[in-house]
Structure 1
Amino acid sequence: MLSQEEADSFLTNILKFSNWREVLEEDKLKFLRVLVPYYAHNLYFQNVSMNALPSAERRVPTAKDIISAGLSGIGGACVTQNTFLTWLLQAIGFNSYTVSAFFHGPRYMPDNHVICIVEFSLEEKYLLELGVALPFAEPVPMHKLPYTQIAAGFRYRYKEADDKKGVYYRVQMDGALYGGEFEDKNMEYVRYEFTMTPRPLEFFHDPLVGIFITVDTSIFLQQHPFMFRYFEEDESGTLVDEPNINGDRKWILIRGVSVLIGTDNGKNVHHYNNYDEVKPVILKYFPKFRKEDLERSLERWNATVAKHGYFNAR
């Protein structure tokens, strides 16, 4: 899908990963580990692009749409973030493919999430999850499950399902990004489940209709901003281009009128009064958005406040 020239230009000019060839030649797994913060720093998980479109122009994203959103660095939902990542890795020599997941939520929508898998061999496979509004620390070794990481002070674990053959879970432990600590310290909440079967973009067409076109079934087309990225800033609070490769990375999640900023160790939450107050925060931390696209999206979200109210994340 991507040419080697497009991949090189993207890695060098959009991700600003200038020594990517040297890192890749040194160690393929090290390359993936370093790619994670570069990618999550420079591509946005976001719903501004789809909400800026008039309803008559909404459509399921094509391969061309995904490549355009990826190469520009504007990003999008999981199908854009993880599918483009898969094609990028293919272009530079990896055996990568997308698989289907079911992200648990209030509506039953099978195959509503896309994940990237990188296969070094039949015995060595890694999961990359850069298409969700949650911190993701490093590639998950699917051949060494269960595997636990930490985000915002809570553990989450990837493991095989006990009750479903060929199914894997991402399990939230201790607590969740929304809502804080679990009262039951032994609770394990299944965030989503997935298989390891390769799936092409066309496989996801029907659930993508429910995400990109049908307002009643799409959390992305409903009443609030929803965006996530890693970021770094200097002592004066000015954003810097270079991501944090080795340390405790900063991330920002904007959900409705709530802004969550955190690291692996925890988070701070600030609630605003309305979406117009959130606008300058979006413009600061997501500077690739065109102001007119953000304003069209805010106009749409403001129009739904009377029906839905403002969304507050915790």
Structure 2
Amino acid sequence: MTRPLRKLGFLTIGLFDPEHPRAGHEATLRLIELGEQLGLDSAWLRHRHLQHGISSPVAVLAAATQRTSRIELGTAVTPLGLENPFRLAEDLATVDVLSGGRLNPGVSVGPPIHWEHLRDHLYPTTWQHEDFSKARVERLLHNLSGGAVSTFEGTEGIETYSTRIQPHSPGLRDRVWYGAASASSAAWAGTAGLNLLTSSVLDAGDADHADFAALQREQIDLFRGLHPAGEDARVSQGLVVIPTDGATPEQVARYEAYAAARLPRTVAPVQAGPRRMLFAPDLVGPSEQLAERLSAHAGFQGVDEVAFALPFTFDEPDYAQILTDLATRLGPLLGWSPATT
């Protein structure tokens, strides 16, 4: 049985031209503004290091707090292997304060991508000792919760020192999401009382089938079964969903070609080192067809929040058309209603 869709958002990489990066960052900010105008509930930024996508979502979201007043702002996800949980907590709390409590930090753990190529620059004297386990998440949660990070408190001259991260933003810890691809990560997120981000890529593990939707639902159910909030625990799904109602024929052709080029990887799990990764097909078509396909999707049936992912390589007018169709056509067909200021 499908849950009524309560929150509808979008996720973008924030693509930019490396020769003219400001234009791409400004386009992303305009997209977030458009999302708020359309009544969407959330806007999420991917985290892309050493690529031509946003490398500092927290900084961009700080700018977005000053251009919006209602829409929730998230990172999906920040890989903590490249972050110091102390400094990140300061940045997240600052942006949350600026936003009025609208920040949704999404995080993940593990060694950074291409670790062997950047470790000497990232941690030149300590890379052999860095801990990329979930303990890094626990440190961040401790910091966001207001736990002590210093043994000194008091006044020196005219300067006053606190034992906890400043500013402290109450409630921010409860809005932390974990990007889980495997059953073990989903289970850990549930036990830790986090929110769950599940995307269009899953770790198939030892599963003897290649049914993405069924596997995603298994992970969602596992997460909720271990979460203190049970069935009320928050889960957001991030499939690539492209409605074509308002698209031009040329746009439709490009969207369909994009999805077709990525379809072969969805047939069976793809070996990525020791992991067997399973990809979801991109969904492209009129909203009526998309609503039918989503309603039959076992993973979608288990959520009441989505942050549909925008394709990496499209242009600003394409994204504007997709968001408009999501808000005015597909969302209402899924039982969603736009937010009001």
TM-score, normalized by length of structure 1?
0.31
Higher helix share: 2
Higher strand share: 1
TM-score, normalized by length of structure 2?
0.29
Q: Which has the higher contact order (CA 8 A, sep 6+)?
A: 2
